[in-house]
Amino acid sequence: MALATSLNASGGIDTAELRPGLADPVHDSQHIFRGLLTALAHPGRPVTLPGDVAGPEPLDPATTAVALTLLDYDTPLWIDWIADTPPLRAYLKFHCGCPLVERSQDAAFGLVTDPENMPRLALFAQGRDQYPDSSASLLLQVPSLEEGPAVTLKGPGIRETATIRPAGLPDWFWNDWRLNAAQFPLGVDIFFTCGRSVVGLPRSILAEG
């Protein structure tokens, strides 16, 4: 879709071209949020998100659902180049109103659809000593949650251990995650998304490949 068709002449948004957001914003987002809360409270446990919302390419339904549930004008968003298309920009602007930022460091949320080429984890906001909550959360859309190499997780929310198999991550990923976890309470939190599923990986979790 060309720029001109999604943005009209005055720079506003042509809503006719937009894909719909959540059918029931109040109750759908509540459902989705509870799914996210469960995913983060039980790291490594795949949670199927309700609400079959079809956002613009290349977003999976789960990625779209998380974006629609968590983003608004208070959350600067960084998106990777594959996702950074006029329809997606228009979609996020209309449904979420979130500002898009150029530099990953400035973002409260990072949206990654091409994990192999994503920025290193340290290039996102890590939080400050006195305000570790000022770090970024990453929505990391992966091609599969079951077909990647097995990684064992330990930490809060996990009774013994949990195993995840996200596919399509860059070579450096789990080494970066080790560094991320080592600087706890600073560091980023991750939601892996694929299809309609989400897996939470908070910074408190240690991973062994």
Q: Give me the least distance between CB of 172 and other proteins, in Å please.
A: 22
Q: Does 181 bind other proteins (CB under 8 A)?
A: no
| 65 in contact with other proteins (CB under 8 A) | no
> Is there binding between residue 52 and other proteins (CB under 8 A)?
no
Q: Which residue blocks in the chain are alpha helix, DSSP H?
A: 3-6, 25-41, 61-70, 86-95, 173-182
Provide long-range contacts, Cβ within 8 A and 24+ apart, for 21-27: 21/53, 21/68, 21/94, 21/95, 22/51, 22/53, 22/65, 22/68, 22/69, 23/51, 23/53, 25/68
Task: Please list every residue from 79 through 118 that binds other proteins, using CB under 8 A.
Answer: 93-97
**Considering the rule CB under 8 A, would residue 30 count as an interface residue with other proteins?**
yes
Helical pair 25-41 and 61-70, crossing angle rounded to 10 deg: 100
The residue range among 39-47, 52-60, 81-89, 164-172 that interacts with other proteins, by the rule CB under 8 A, is: 39-47
Among 104, 113, 137, 197, binds other proteins (CB under 8 A): 137
Specify whether the backbone of 122 is left (phi greater than 0), alpha (psi in -120 to 50) or beta.
alpha
Q: Which stretch binds other proteins (CB under 8 A): 80-88, 117-125, 171-179, 181-189?
A: 181-189
| SS3 state at 49 | coil
Q: How far is the CB of 107 from other proteins (least distance, A)?
A: 13
- In which residue are the tokens 């980023």 written? 188
Q: Does residue 202 touch other proteins according to CB under 8 A?
A: yes
Q: Which positions touch other proteins (CB under 8 A)?
A: 21-22, 24-27, 29-31, 33-34, 36-37, 40-42, 68-70, 72-75, 93-97, 129-133, 137, 156-159, 184-185, 189, 202-204
